Amino acid sequence: MIIVLKPGATKEAADEILAQIEQRGLKPLYMPGVERIVLGALGDERKLSDLNFNAYPMVDEVKPILTSYKLVSRDFQSHDSLVKVGNVEIGGSTFIAMAGPCSVETEQQIELVAEAVAKAGGKILRGGAFKPRTSPYAFQGLGLKGLELLAKAGKNNGLPVITEVIDSHDVGLVAEYADALQIGARNMQNYQLLKAVGQAQRPVLLKRGPSATLEELLLAAEYILSEGNQQVMLCERGIRTYENAYRNTLDLNAVAYLKLKTHLPVIVDPSHGTGVHDLVAPLTLAAAAVGADGVIVEVHPEPKNALSDAQQQLRPEEFARLTQKLQQVLTAVGREF
Amino acid sequence: MIIVLKPGATKEAADEILAQIEQRGLKPLYMPGVERIVLGALGDERKLSDLNFNAYPMVDEVKPILTSYKLVSRDFQSHDSLVKVGNVEIGGSTFIAMAGPCSVETEQQIELVAEAVAKAGGKILRGGAFKPRTSPYAFQGLGLKGLELLAKAGKNNGLPVITEVIDSHDVGLVAEYADALQIGARNMQNYQLLKAVGQAQRPVLLKRGPSATLEELLLAAEYILSEGNQQVMLCERGIRTYENAYRNTLDLNAVAYLKLKTHLPVIVDPSHGTGVHDLVAPLTLAAAAVGADGVIVEVHPEPKNALSDAQQQLRPEEFARLTQKLQQVLTAVGREF
Amino acid sequence: MIIVLKPGATKEAADEILAQIEQRGLKPLYMPGVERIVLGALGDERKLSDLNFNAYPMVDEVKPILTSYKLVSRDFQSHDSLVKVGNVEIGGSTFIAMAGPCSVETEQQIELVAEAVAKAGGKILRGGAFKPRTSPYAFQGLGLKGLELLAKAGKNNGLPVITEVIDSHDVGLVAEYADALQIGARNMQNYQLLKAVGQAQRPVLLKRGPSATLEELLLAAEYILSEGNQQVMLCERGIRTYENAYRNTLDLNAVAYLKLKTHLPVIVDPSHGTGVHDLVAPLTLAAAAVGADGVIVEVHPEPKNALSDAQQQLRPEEFARLTQKLQQVLTAVGREF
Amino acid sequence: MIIVLKPGATKEAADEILAQIEQRGLKPLYMPGVERIVLGALGDERKLSDLNFNAYPMVDEVKPILTSYKLVSRDFQSHDSLVKVGNVEIGGSTFIAMAGPCSVETEQQIELVAEAVAKAGGKILRGGAFKPRTSPYAFQGLGLKGLELLAKAGKNNGLPVITEVIDSHDVGLVAEYADALQIGARNMQNYQLLKAVGQAQRPVLLKRGPSATLEELLLAAEYILSEGNQQVMLCERGIRTYENAYRNTLDLNAVAYLKLKTHLPVIVDPSHGTGVHDLVAPLTLAAAAVGADGVIVEVHPEPKNALSDAQQQLRPEEFARLTQKLQQVLTAVGREF
């Protein structure tokens, strides 16, 4: 940790801080510069996290050297983690397509989609049963009934299933039906929920919040791992920027960056990531090229009758055409599908 | 609602949409322009919200005319709402200062702050018992013990108290101790929680999410009102922008804008809003000048020993100096303190 | 154009606006809704652009129907434009790699890079002679000498050259040496410069400003086309967001979106777009997969001795490895290299 | 400067960097930590700016200690700078209101506004003659004729005048007519222009770019000062954020922050800063309360007939009412008007 003092800071102000650093067992450094006094702390600076050096009147800035996350870091574990959803392995040489409707609506709808997903090479079925909605007047999901239909459709078509959980008290219930739990973007910093899924026996897909930095995403994942659940996938799903030509700005830089910094698999959601039907296919191909470990795509038999996110869902035949192209791009970058 | 079709859209595509509009009891309009066909729907367009016109292949854009929120709108209720926390009225001619530590830490700490707040003209005591923290390794609050200490300190100093609730299942418990419930920025779209406080018998301070639009903030408030709780205050607490000279960018435009669009009181949080100690006082004065109904400020007897958000808390004597200046600005803009 | 009036607006206020619409030769529409009066104008609404309906006291909102740009729109010209830089055609079935150092520094440097670019399949040589720099104390480019060295290196290696022009008065000079003119991101709305290159006889690569919307980028291109120069390429080079793990956030959604909305070729700059060496290669592959017509990549023989943007330049051998992978991805998406 | 090496970096990699630091006359520091090796450079680290440590393969991160700007810094000059426009002093105890139309349109218009501005207590007349416009089809200003009318109206009403210059080659011409030169937001990083006004004998109002950080703004001011012109005012005029309820988000945090970091006067533009008529007055009062040294406000006799930015201009009587309230807020914060 580096601590820059304000101009005019005294030796006494510096000594007070240096003493605290030493007391915590780190090596203190005193570096008087031309314009500023700079202090340093060598050692595991996470031990200093409850000392509020930035609240000292003579301190101008505190610059950490180490990352604030640890268990999820590639420095901590250099090889890629594999996550297993049902019998599907994510994070290895095979790229995984998860697909399904935004919301489970009827038995016929989810069965129809599940069949189409399986046929097109999708490996995991997604579908929402509990839906967090911006407006109190919008469809909120089928709840338990939705879980049952999803699980059944998955089983009938040989696909493990993933669905969102939005309340820490529902984790047990959802885990009974789902092979993987999804934490939605709006809940990325719902720490009650992160702890609950951290104690569950199910892999977790953790979505990046719409204005979360990658450091915050990694810290949210750290919450889950620190509770004992190592089976975490990160998911880039579009961030909020000033640009409003699309609902979100899918950030593919994040994928390449995360693959450098963490050993966890990285999934891309081009449906929410753009929020625009015509952008889903090209961004899916780009996700494969940039090095993602999989995608999660919304597919609906009749998007214009969908009860949520109609404008971004692909029809089954569109999804099938997309997976064909996807396969070619994956071959080009040396991955299987 | 205005629906712009793509170039080349046929009369048939238009007719299908017009029929749906008519079927819902709105008046359909057909407006063939030079370059595009434009359709319109006159009437309560919220009845069309489950028709996904933006998922129709021939539709280019859907432009709503009415706001998506209703109960919170000044169109719906033109006079200012008054919210009552204990015996303190918010939203009228008196500007209210709420103050207290980020976290309740010890009995001595909260009593000391409560006394200082009351003496300096503060009307409501704040303090966190359940703390949502970015890092799993940070202090998470005293929980129930914190609630008890807060309530006691409030009572001893004649101040109603406000504290954050972070889990829908805790609302009842927190409401036993607190005069008002705070929904934190990260939970602005935690709909389980919004519903729960919507059914509680306590006023609610709803903080704007760090990347929430004002429309989303108003829709989140609508959730609470639509459950039957009219006692809602909105709180601007800084948004996330590209600028990182400060932790957040306090958005005072939001205050002036919200006062035009909604009848609910608007509070400003300059402590989280900037995240920088030296910016708290000037931004508090600016909040008073721009037309806010109150502020919520963090005060701690010894910021450098604080267990959370040390860098943004004022010492009691700084808060006292601030309220003196605040009073003068309020007089200048015709408000009491 | 749709004009939404405020609640309580009178028929007289509406009539005044309708009369103005009619006077300009458009068809006025009066649509009294349940909560609001809405007005419409059918016809070429660009004729209304100098009527400031949004400054009328009774007007709440003005919603244009048509795009504000015209010549660059795919509605105006549905087939792809081809741009010719020297003998290289951009916007057709062949994907073009432009490459070279951020700044031209010495004859040896630029010759070395030019040779490497040509050998690796690059088709156009880039290099800065006039450099806009954030700090007044940074290297500002070799100027005229740089132009000469660039042109010579291009000729020696059979590569047309592109370089940035930063002053409207330099356009003639730069056009003597360069086969294509580049407008840098910071100058995207330097209208003097846009007009000057609009009158030049050279193709233009127009970079998106770091906080420019795509509509603003298209309007900036419209400036150039409206002066008579049709040879314009758009370039996505990263936008400014809240995320600071990378210098810029390369926005590949923009590529897919622009290909829908305009007939102009779209180029991606992954070097500035990320500002991080290790992200350049994966984002180049993603650019190819998402449908870009080319990339512009920084290559330097010894990045750590570069006089500008050292951290994002590839070494020649890294660029060669990249173009090999690029070729495979391009084949997968049906394009030549 | 602090240089963090990657995990696994060797002593040799460190030594190469330390040798370079020493060679430049700074004191090198070697700090081997538990997880990382950290290097330091004590002394004027600006001497290292052309060494690209961040391009060394073993370097993970470079953290500067000193600010990149110098002449504009409060560390360099602790007392407030005074800028003199005609006989009006800015940056002292008197708060200055500059006002006038977005564009000079006719003699009658500018005379009428000038009279109203003077009468309401405004001290400087603003008005655009050269207008940078987003659309090529919009009004571009009266040019030289506009300068003449502006200068005459200023003289007739005892007001010095300020106007924007958009081309480095026009600086001499504009300086003949104007008492102060304005650099518009889109030109904040037009370095040709910054150099030209740096060599002019006129004070400069430098507007923050719509996505410029405060560090970039201060560096742009440094450009001007480093050319010999000390008479620079900074101007906050709204930044681009994800929120689109207003055209820009006026950032008043910037004002308080700049007053801490620089000795230059800070002006606020609430007209462009919000882009919304009804927000101009409250944000002007907030600017006074937060500690700005002045405001620049758009006033037009008949906004709905304005040739540019109609929706944000105040009518003369609105401006007069605003200055009355402004005076009261200024008195409250101890400033004159």
C-alpha distances (whole Å) from A218 to each of A165, A206, A224, B209, C171 are 19, 10, 10, 20, 48
Cα(D90)–Cα(D123) distance, integer angstroms: 10
Contact B259, B266 (CB under 8 A): yes
Cα(B28)–Cα(B42) distance, integer angstroms: 6
Q: Of A295-309, C46-60, D8-22, which range is least confident? A: C46-60
**In this complex, do C289 and A285 lie within 8 Å of one another by their Cβ atoms?**
yes
Kindly tell me if the per-residue pLDDT of B137 is higher than 90.
no
Which residue, among B211, B217, B232, B318, would best test binding to A if mutated, counting the most A CBs under 10 Å from its CB? B211
Give the burial string for D8-31 (b: 16+ CB within 10 Å, else e). ebeeebbeebbebbeeeebebbeb
Cα(C269)–Cα(C250) distance, integer angstroms: 8
Q: Which residues of chain C lie closer than 8 angstroms to D307, CB-CB?
A: 50
Q: Which of the four pLDDT bands, split at 50, 70 and 90, describes residue A227?
A: very high
Q: Which residues of chain C lie closer than 8 angstroms to B4, CB-CB?
A: 65
**In this complex, do B329 and D329 lie within 8 Å of one another by their Cβ atoms?**
yes
Domain boundaries, chain D: 2-63, 83-332
Helical packing angle, D214-226 and D252-261, nearest 10°: 50
Q: Which residues of chain D lie closer than 8 angstroms to B213, CB-CB?
A: 242-245
pLDDT tens-digit profile of D87-139? 999 999 999 999 999 999 999 999 999 999 999 999 999 999 988 777 777 77
Among A169, A191, A219, the residue with its CB nearest the CB of B169 is A169
What ipTM describes this predicted complex? 0.94
Q: Which residues of chain A lie closer than 8 angstroms to C215, CB-CB?
A: 245
- Read off the pLDDT of each residue in D159-167 and give the average, rounded to a whole number: 96
Q: Which of the four pLDDT bands, split at 50, 70 and 90, describes residue D31?
A: confident
**In this complex, do A210 and B210 lie within 8 Å of one another by their Cβ atoms?**
no
Please give the backbone phi and psi of residue C115, each rounded to the nearest 5 degrees, phi first: -60, -45
Q: Which of the four pLDDT bands, split at 50, 70 and 90, describes residue D45?
A: confident
Q: Which residues of chain D lie closer than 8 angstroms to C137, CB-CB?
A: 46, 49, 226
Please give the backbone phi and psi of residue A16, each rounded to the nearest 5 degrees, phi first: -60, -45
Cα(B283)–Cα(B307) distance, integer angstroms: 24
**In this complex, do A329 and C329 lie within 8 Å of one another by their Cβ atoms?**
yes
**In this complex, do D29 and A33 lie within 8 Å of one another by their Cβ atoms?**
no
Average pLDDT, chain B: 93
- Comparing C306 with A151, the larger pLDDT belongs to A151
Would you list which residues of chain B are within 8 Å, Cβ to Cβ, of chain A?
46, 49-50, 52, 54-56, 68, 132-139, 166-169, 186-187, 189-192, 210-211, 216, 219, 222-223, 226-227, 240, 277, 303-307, 310-311, 313
Cα(D33)–Cα(D31) distance, integer angstroms: 6
Closest Cα in chain B to C34? B43
Query: Which class is domain B2-63?
Result: alpha beta
Which chains does A contact via 3+ CB–CB distances below 8 A?
Answer: B, C, D
Q: Which residues of chain B lie closer than 8 angstroms to C25, CB-CB?
A: none
Contacts of D73 (CB under 8 A, 6+ apart): D67, D218, D261, D262, D263
Which residue, among D63, D71, D186, would best test binding to C if mutated, counting the most C CBs under 10 Å from its CB? D186
pLDDT for the residue numbered A119:
98
Report the half-sphere exposure of A81 (CA within 13 A, side-chain side): 25
Q: Which residues of chain C lie closer than 8 angstroms to D211, CB-CB?
A: 209-211, 240
CATH number of B83-332: 3.20.20.70
Cα(A43)–Cα(B117) distance, integer angstroms: 40
Q: Which of the four pLDDT bands, split at 50, 70 and 90, describes residue B309?
A: confident
Kindly tell me if the per-residue pLDDT of A240 is higher than 90.
yes
Q: How many CB atoms lie within 10 A of CB D176?
A: 11
Q: Of A222-236, B91-105, B273-287, C130-144, which range is least confident? A: C130-144
**In this complex, do A311 and B222 lie within 8 Å of one another by their Cβ atoms?**
no
Nearest partner of B189 among C108, A209, D318, judged by Cα: A209
Q: Is the pTM of this model over 0.90?
A: yes
Please give the backbone phi and psi of residue D124, each rounded to the nearest 5 degrees, phi first: -135, 140
Closest Cα in chain A to B311? A55
Among C35, C43, C65, the residue with its CB nearest the CB of B66 is C35
Q: Of A306-310, C189-193, C283-287, D208-212, which range is least confident? A: A306-310
**In this complex, do A65 and D241 lie within 8 Å of one another by their Cβ atoms?**
no
pLDDT for the residue numbered D91:
97
**In this complex, do A282 and C249 lie within 8 Å of one another by their Cβ atoms?**
no
- Chains B, D: CB contacts within 8 A come to 127
Helical packing angle, B144-156 and B107-119, nearest 10°: 40
**In this complex, do A255 and C282 lie within 8 Å of one another by their Cβ atoms?**
yes
- Angstroms from B212 CA to nearest CA on chain C: 14
Kindly tell me if the per-residue pLDDT of D49 is higher than 80.
no
Cα(C336)–Cα(C327) distance, integer angstroms: 8
| Cα angle for residues B211, A254, C264 (degrees, 5° grid) | 90
Most confident listed range (B297-311, C65-79, C281-295, D51-65): C281-295
Q: Which residue has the tokens 């609001």?
A: C36
- Read off the pLDDT of each residue in D171-195 and give the average, rounded to a whole number: 95
User: Could you tell me the two tokens for B331?
Assistant: 């007089």
Closest Cα in chain C to A282? C290
**In this complex, do D136 and C222 lie within 8 Å of one another by their Cβ atoms?**
yes
pLDDT for the residue numbered D68:
83
Nearest partner of B278 among D261, D200, A140, judged by Cα: D261
pLDDT for the residue numbered B31:
86
Which residue, among D45, D103, D137, D249, would best test binding to C if mutated, counting the most C CBs under 10 Å from its CB? D137
**In this complex, do B250 and D254 lie within 8 Å of one another by their Cβ atoms?**
no
- Read off the pLDDT of each residue in B200-212 and give the average, rounded to a whole number: 96
- Angstroms from D68 CA to nearest CA on chain A: 13
**In this complex, do D219 and C52 lie within 8 Å of one another by their Cβ atoms?**
no
Per-residue pLDDT of chain C (337 residues; tens, 9 = 90+): 889 998 889 889 899 999 999 999 988 988 887 778 889 888 888 788 778 888 888 898 888 888 889 999 998 999 999 999 999 999 999 999 999 999 999 999 999 999 999 999 999 999 999 887 777 777 788 999 999 999 999 999 999 999 999 988 899 999 999 999 999 999 999 988 999 999 999 999 999 999 999 999 999 999 999 999 999 999 999 999 999 999 999 999 999 999 999 999 999 999 999 999 999 999 999 999 999 999 999 999 988 888 888 888 999 999 999 999 999 999 999 999 9
- Angstroms from B37 CA to nearest CA on chain C: 9
Q: Which residues of chain A lie closer than 8 angstroms to C243, CB-CB?
A: 213-214, 239, 251, 254
Which residues on neighbouring strands pair with residue A162, listed in sequence order?
Answer: A126, A180
pLDDT for the residue numbered C47:
82
Contact A28, A39 (CB under 8 A): yes
Q: Which residues of chain B lie closer than 8 angstroms to A229, CB-CB?
A: none
Cα(C249)–Cα(C243) distance, integer angstroms: 8
pLDDT for the residue numbered B17:
93
pLDDT for the residue numbered B310:
80
- Angstroms from D179 CA to nearest CA on chain C: 23
- Chains A, C: CB contacts within 8 A come to 128
Among A52, A133, A187, the residue with its CB nearest the CB of B304 is A52
**In this complex, do A286 and C252 lie within 8 Å of one another by their Cβ atoms?**
yes
In SS3 terms, chain D reads as CEEEECCCCCHHHHHHHHHHHHHCCCEEEEEECCCCEEEEEECCHHHHCCCCHHHCCCEEEEECCCCCCCCCECCCCCCCCCEEECCEEECCCECEEEEECCECCCHHHHHHHHHHHHHCCCCEEECECCCCCCCCCCCCCCCHHHHHHHHHHHHHCCCCEEEECCCHHHHHHHHHHCCEEEECHHHCCCHHHHHHHHCCCCCEEEECCCCCCHHHHHHHHHHHHHCCCCCEEEEECCECCCCCCCCCECCHHHHHHHHHHECCCEEECHHHHHCCHHHHHHHHHHHHHHCCCEEEEEECCCHHHCCCCHHHCECHHHHHHHHHHHHHHHHHCCCEC
Among D213, D283, D328, the residue with its CB nearest the CB of B256 is D283
Q: Which residues of chain D lie closer than 8 angstroms to B279, CB-CB?
A: 253, 256-257
